[in-house]
Chains A and B, each alone.
Chain A
Amino acid sequence: MMTSTNAPEAVPLPEILIFPNRLLKAETTEKLLNRIYEVPHVRQVNIAGEALPAVLSSGPNKGLPNEHPERRVITVKGEQVELRLLVGRVFVEIDDIDHVQRALEEIDEICIEILPFGFNLEVGRYSKYKPTVTDYKKCKR
């Protein structure tokens, strides 16, 4: 999971899950994220997918660099982000439940344009919104 902000939330905020029918290329991910950030009331975007390791982790060539063309730096909102995944799920957090419907409609339009192979949209809460006891024990926060 790659997340765009570490700021904790006071209450669990709604998320829109974009579930494309195909795993997204870096180029498509970059395009999609930039368009989503233009939608009003989007607080943060988290992405999840299939990990692309930097080095070969097993086999006789263990330790050699893994040259994967989709593992590269992309530019989101003018910031350079190292993409380490082939994206399979995008979680768009909206700053208030009252804005979800409008954002959903706009995200639907964007997805129709950028994801021609099909997608599903869902509204819910898919990730933790504050540190758990385990996180405290692991000193993550």
Chain B
Amino acid sequence: MAYQAQYYPGNSQIAKNRRRYMDPSEKLKKLRDVAMDDVVRILGHRAPGEDYKSIHPPLEEGNEPDDYVRKLVTPIEGAKKGDRIRYVQFTDSIYFAPMVPYLRAWMYMTRMRGFDTGTLSGRQIIEMRERDLEKASKELIDNETFDPAKTGIRGATVHGHACRLDENGLMFDAWQRYRWNAKKGEVEYVKDQVALPLDKPISVGKPLPDAELKKMTTIFRVDGVDMIDDPEVMAMNLRIHRLRTLCGFQAFALKGE
């Protein structure tokens, strides 16, 4: 029988959301459409329309040494062309952002290929070949894993995920890369992800209402859905802690657990 992935345990709404985001067979809703050129501007790695810089000749020139893994793995588009590795980094507020950093990592692992990712307490970086990174970034900005007010695109000085929101309901950003446009009721980026001012503001749309966010979030919170109310999730987490405490990373070495 073929192996069937079990993405996340539990029956609470949060557990169901987590499973849905991680399951690649589930199509994520597209909530906005930010133009590709604007995504490129926010990333700040190249000007829109500029050629991709390369770090090695295209693979089709055949200069690579013979290797089993090369035969086994189909390269992604950017790798074929020899693109540079560039990055995008998302910050998720603890105030019911749609995603949390480690869930982002799990989701990327099941939905994308050809990248490296790193998880920190409030942010999640993706490193990838440039042209593939741009496509992935656009998808992650356009779909339901992104909320203009509670998710930030921040390459450096990401501090703010655990701070209170500001008066407009936006996550704190010491560099104010995005601002609230009261007339339109939208959030717009005025700086790229490393705070270089943009020529013109880029709108990323209206923030989702709090009630909506509480339904689609993946964050267990005492004032939302408490993890303790989902026994299966609690049991899994306690088991992980127990095994980790007893035998570090060699959970398999423990007999009878």
Interface residues of A (CB under 8 A from B): 20-25, 28, 50-53, 56-61, 64, 66-70, 86, 88, 117
Contact = CB atoms under 8 A, between A and B. Distances in A.
A70 B180 CA distance: 13
Contacts of A51: 174
B176 interface: yes
Given A22-B165, A25-B167, A59-B194, A69 B174 contact: no
A67 to B, nearest CB: 7
A23 B196 contact: no
Given A21-B164, A23-B163, A59-B157, 6 more contacts: A25-B166, A52-B174, A59-B195, A61-B194, A66-B175, A88-B163
Q: Is the interface of B mostly helix, strand, loop or mixed?
A: loop
B172 interface: yes
9 contacts: A56-B175, A56-B195, A58-B156, A59-B156, A59-B157, A60-B194, A61-B195, A88-B164, A117-B167
Q: Nearest 7 A-B pairs (CB), nearest first? A: A59-B156, A59-B194, A58-B156, A23-B166, A68-B176, A22-B167, A25-B167
B231 interface: no
Nearest to B193: A59
A61 B196 contact: yes
Contact of A23 (B165, B194, B197): B165
A59 B156 CA distance: 6
Given A56-B175, A57-B157, A59-B156, A24 B195 contact: no
B58 interface: no
B155 interface: yes
A71 to B, nearest CB: 9
B195 A66 contact: yes
A75 B41 CA distance: 37
A56 B157 contact: yes
Nearest to B192: A61
Contacts of B195: 56, 59, 61, 64, 66
A22 B166 contact: yes
Contacts of A86: 166, 172
